[in-house]
Amino acid sequence: MTAAEVSLLSNWRAAHEAPVTGWDFSEISGRHIEQQPPWSYSELAREVLTKAGSALDLGTGGGEVLLNLVDALPADTVATEGWAANIPVATQNLSSQGIPVVQYDAEADPSLPFADQRFDVVLDRHEAYVASEVFRVLRPGGCFLTQQVDGRDFEETQAIFGGKSSYRHITLENLRSEALAAGFDVMAAEEWRGEARFTDVATLVRYLAYVPWEVPDDFSVDRYAPELLDLHNSARDLTFTQRRLYLCAMRPG
């Protein structure tokens, strides 16, 4: 291994291992260029919040997305977050708006820590959920809006690093079926495919620190050094396929 490659690996290691909190990708802005779906999640959320007296935001991250909706949120708004490192960030960011943050991880325990028919609206942007639990905490006539990363997102990483997606079941067809089985009426749904491009391997590695599910569980710069160096030395186009979907459903009544 050359001295230049040792230096590259050192820089990539530092980028990958630096702490990650919230969902703020501004640090790689301009080096990570991604296309956007034809819909706006914020606009869809504002629409379902129009007459809401209460709202729940699942998987708020650091609260960044919810803060962009504060002018549309009802006074009775609650957020959840499952990643321990994000909870103090979200709590600090949302406290000024009087929005409490409750720790909740649907993959660890599907039962939402809220009473039956507690909310008029449940929002979910890129967070795991259980359709029957969302149905339970919604009031009759209440709306559920979710945008998800399709389980086939960034499939190219599997060819580079091996492994398989742990979320292949996340497709519009499956989520629609789960919603209907839970008792929802599906009001709108759409899926989309686009591209994300990275200017260099360092930016890709930093991005993967935010979204570790896109690569094998054992991913590290040292373990996958040959593959990363090959990406760098081959001057390969670092373009990956994005897949997104959204679903808007209503509890009848």
Residue 74 has which token pair? Answer: 């009802």
Asked whether 53 and 31 are in contact (CB, 8 A), the reply is no
Q: What is the pLDDT of residue 6?
A: 93
Domain of 171, in residue numbers: 3-250
Cα separation, 31 vs 203, whole angstroms: 7
pLDDT digits (tens, 9 = 90+) for 71-93: 999 999 999 999 888 999 999 99
pLDDT digits (tens, 9 = 90+) for 98-108: 999 999 999 89
Q: Give the containing element (helix H, strand E) for 140.
A: strand 138-149
pLDDT higher than 80, residue 235: no
Q: What is the pLDDT of residue 134?
A: 98
User: Model pTM?
Assistant: 0.90
* pLDDT over 70, % of the chain: 99
pLDDT digits (tens, 9 = 90+) for 193-234: 999 999 999 999 999 999 888 899 899 999 999 999 999 998
Q: Residue 253, class by beta-carbon neighbours within 10 Å (0-12 exposed, 13-18 middle, 19+ buried)?
A: exposed
pLDDT digits (tens, 9 = 90+) for 121-148: 999 999 999 999 999 999 999 999 999 9
pLDDT digits (tens, 9 = 90+) for 40-68: 999 999 999 999 999 999 999 999 999 99
Sheet holding 239-250, edge to edge: 32-34, 185-198, 239-250, 138-149, 119-125, 54-58, 76-81, 101-103
* pLDDT over 90, % of the chain: 85
Cα separation, 32 vs 41, whole angstroms: 20
Q: What is the pLDDT of residue 236?
A: 78
pLDDT higher than 90, residue 22: no
Which CATH number do you get for residue 156? 3.40.50.150
Q: What is the pLDDT of residue 214?
A: 87
Cross-strand pairs, 192: 244
pLDDT digits (tens, 9 = 90+) for 151-168: 999 999 988 998 777 788
DSSP-based three-state secondary structure for 185: strand
Helix axes 225-233 and 3-17, enclosed angle (nearest 10): 110
Overall number of domains in the chain: 1
Considering Cα of 129, then 182, then 113, then 120, what sign does the dihedral take? positive
Instruction: Give the pLDDT band (50/70/90) at residue 35.
Output: very high
